Amino acid sequence: MLQSSNSVLDSAKPSSELLADKIALEEHFVLAENIDASYAVRDLPPETRQRILDLGSGRIADMDRGGLDICILSLTAPGVQAIPQVKEAIAQARRTNNYLAENIAKNPKRLKGFATLPLQDPEAAAQELTRCVRDLGFCGALVNGFSQVGDGDSAFYYDLPQYRPFWATVQELDVPFYLHPRDPLPTRQQCYEGYRWLAGSPWGFAVETSIHALRLMASGLFDEYPKLKVILGHLGEGLSFGIWRADHRISRGSGAPRAKLPMSHYLRENFYVTTSGNFRTQALTNVILEIGADRVLYSVDYPYEDAVEAKEWFDHASISESDRLKIARANAQKLFHF
């Protein structure tokens, strides 16, 4: 079996104390008032809709079954990013964060939060992130991809110059920014014509989010703010597999990024990836070999994925016990100062 400095090895049976001690950080909720506004939730079966609404005993019971000690909760896609009206997005983000904080207060040892941010207005987003971190005790932010601003057919990505002051705030607060997927806009789905179902979580999520991440890298953002920490789900949205070729082709003249260093440098130094919804040992092995086990974090993608299925896969995946401990808990403890 392949082996690296991060010890991708065939494993023994996981240590028993690890099984019920995981930290997960791509675990979703939605407010009842907005449940039908989310395409991610609209067509779910009734029992899954109930799970995403539940921030109480039902969720805690599922965490116990899945061996989860702590979950960091976040608003499901597309969230406020799909509200083109700026004032409405700002107000909805604040209501969402207050609602989440109220529910976390009922189970503070088990539940934590990621801020919902109205990035339609970068200054308002920076102010809301500061409030959520300093006043509400949130762990950072999770943002569902590009924001629609003014026009429902618009798409604003966060490498754009107007977002630089926002990123300065993220670095100053020293909290992670989770870049979560969303569907491409309907007017930009021509390549999915006849196969619209591919535009979502089966494929389009990874394409949309990996391109957004590459834009951040290529823009020089991490040269300007080298301490930024960005998290990607689903084992990195395919970037660990393709990053060598991206750098190789750029080095041969196929591109002119503003960034000073190869894309792979930023992937290894400024990004973390989670196991959310991608329970495949071969893919996990590739991620560990490419970016290192210290940059991988456990997650489920609840309630879209089953916490017990995730647990059974991860607890028996062929990785070293030291890497299993890092990914299950220790990396998150270090990143979030738990």
**What does the pLDDT read at residue 149?**
97
Q: Does the predicted model carry a pTM greater than 0.85?
A: yes
Q: Quick check: is 133 in a domain? A: no
- At residue 8, does pLDDT exceed 80? no
- Find how far residue 37's CA is from the centre of its chain: 21
Task: Name which of 10, 119, 24, 141 is nearest 74 in CA terms.
Answer: 141
Residue 190 domain flag: no
Considering the candidates 301, 306, 315, 323, report the single residue annotated as catalytic: 301
Closest of 317, 97, 301, 313 to residue 205, by C-alpha: 301
Put residue 294 in one of left, alpha, beta given phi > 0 → left and psi -120 to 50 → alpha: alpha
Residue 1 belongs to some domain of the structure = yes
User: How far is Cα 92 from Cα 260, in angstroms, rounded to an integer?
Assistant: 38
Does 310 fall in a domain? Answer: yes
Q: 41 vs 87, which has greater pLDDT?
A: 87
Least confident of 6-15, 72-81, 106-115, 125-134: 6-15
**Ranges assigned E (strand) in the chain:** 22-29, 68-75, 111-113, 141-144, 177-180, 230-232, 271-274, 296-297
pLDDT at 17: 53
Measured CA to CA, the distance from residue 271 to residue 287 in angstroms comes to 12
DSSP labels, 221-247: HHHHSTT--EEESGGGTTHHHHHHHHH
Lowest mean pLDDT among 17-21, 97-101, 154-158: 17-21
Is the distance from CB of 85 to CB of 151 less than 8 angstroms?
A: no
Our answer to whether residue 247 is catalytic in this structure is no
Residue 140 dihedral angles phi and psi, to the nearest 5°: 145, -145
What is the C-alpha to C-alpha distance for residues 311 and 81, in angstroms, rounded to an integer?
31
Helix (H, G, I), strand (E, B) or coil at 273: strand
Mean pLDDT of 121-142: 98
Q: Is residue 33 part of a domain?
A: yes
Place of tokens 């006849």: 194
Percent of the chain past pLDDT 70, that is, above it, reads 94
**pLDDT > 90: percent of the chain:** 89
- Residue 217 maps to a domain: no
pLDDT (tens digit, 9 = 90+) per residue, 227-277? 999 999 999 999 999 999 999 999 999 888 999 999 999 999 999 999 999
Give residue 75's identity as a one-letter amino acid code.
Answer: L
CATH number of the CATH domain containing 298: 3.20.20.140
Number of domains in the chain: 1
Mean pLDDT score across all residues of the chain: 93
Write down the pLDDT at residue 40: 72
What is the rounded distance in angstroms from the CA atom of residue 82 to the CA atom of residue 105?
28
Dump the DSSP string for 173-206: HT--EEEE--PPPGGG-GGGTT-GGGGTTTTHHH
Mapped onto helix, strand or coil, the DSSP state of residue 266 is helix
Residues 321 and 19: beta-carbon distance below 8 Å = no
Determine the pLDDT at residue 10: 38
The answer to whether residue 18 scores a pLDDT higher than 70 is: no
Q: Domain span at residue 292?
A: 1-77+275-338
Residue 16 inside a domain? The answer is yes
Report if residue 66 sits inside a domain.
Answer: yes
**39 within 8 A of 183, measured Cβ to Cβ:** yes
